[in-house]
Amino acid sequence: MLKILKYSFFDLIRSRWSIIYFLFYFITGMVLLYLSNDVSKAIVSLMNITFILTPLIGTIFGVMNFYNSREFIELLLAQPMPRRRIFLGMFLGISLSLSLSLLLGMGLPFVLYRIFISSHVMSLLILLLSGVFLTFIFTAISFYIALVNENRLKGFGMAILVWLFMAFIYDGIFLLSLFLLQEYPIEKFAIAMSLFNPIDLSRILIMLQLDISALMGYTGAVFHKFFSNHSGMLISISALTAWTLIPLFFILRKSSKKDF
């Protein structure tokens, strides 16, 4: 498995798309820090970009890498090695390469800006951690979709639809539900709805860390009361971990039964 992971990792990390991905975050971070004297504003701007672009990149790379490696996978399956190790190694190789590009591209501008000696270091660390979680989550989801669907067009379309739903449509449903249920106690409902979307959950954690929950109105106060304490943070990290492990479980389960 480690050899497959190493091959997938270095194959992607040397690709021009990984370099472009790194340069995009690096240049964007440098520009935002140069134009703004407020580090928190730069982090919020990066948050808005990261929580849309990172899941999209993970989705596209997860689907395309699986379909483009179809012949390589069939060759590996002919070897005397467990199927689960093959697919787990490929998934980790993709996820780790994308995560490294994200961490270096987003982290280096703040290192050069010496943010690690300021009070905003925790906000940046949570942003980086959320970005890594979103990379693993959406890469796993798209990898599983590609594993299930033989048709490339159908698999790619379903993966993009999942990203579109999580990034945009879910928020509309969430807000509509809060509007329709405004006359009822909705604290637990709002918290539960946020846990069912990793993008929203990551966004809430950053906004609360930056102490701008007042911009979220009533729900911001509810989230601040729940997520700002240690138990809320622990539940949030546990939810993001579950979002990573559940698709991975289905990948390993499907890979052991799929007929190539």
Using the predicted structure, report yes or no on whether residue 102 has a pLDDT greater than 90.
Answer: yes
- DSSP letter assigned to residue 80: S
CB 127 within 8 A of CB 206: yes
Q: How far apart are CA 163 and CA 171, in angstroms?
A: 12
CB 244 within 8 A of CB 233: no
Q: How far apart are CA 184 and CA 167, in angstroms?
A: 27
Digit-coded pLDDT (tens) for 69-79 = 888 888 887 88
Average pLDDT value for the chain: 85
Lowest average pLDDT, out of 14-23, 34-43, 46-55, goes to: 34-43
Distances (CA, A) of 2 to 93, 143, 193, 254: 9, 19, 37, 21
Least Cα distance to 109 among 42, 172, 30, 36 occurs for 30
Using the predicted structure, report yes or no on whether residue 25 has a pLDDT greater than 70.
Answer: yes
Digit-coded pLDDT (tens) for 111-153 = 888 766 566 788 888 899 999 999 999 999 999 999 999 899 9
CB 131 within 8 A of CB 58: no
Using the predicted structure, report yes or no on whether residue 212 has a pLDDT greater than 70.
Answer: no
Using the predicted structure, report yes or no on whether residue 214 has a pLDDT greater than 60.
Answer: no
Q: How far apart are CA 136 and CA 58, in angstroms?
A: 7
Higher pLDDT, 85 or 250: 250
Phi, psi at 226, each rounded to 5°: -90, -50
Q: How far apart are CA 77 and CA 75, in angstroms?
A: 5
Query: The whole model's pTM is what?
Result: 0.91
The DSSP element (H or E) to which 220 belongs, if any, is helix 217-227
The DSSP element (H or E) to which 168 belongs, if any, is none
Higher pLDDT, 1 or 113: 113
How far, in whole angstroms, is CA 173 from its chain's centroid? 21
Question: What's the burial of 99, exposed, middle or buried (CB within 10 Å: 0-12/13-18/19+)?
Answer: buried
Q: How many CB atoms lie within 10 A of CB 85?
A: 17
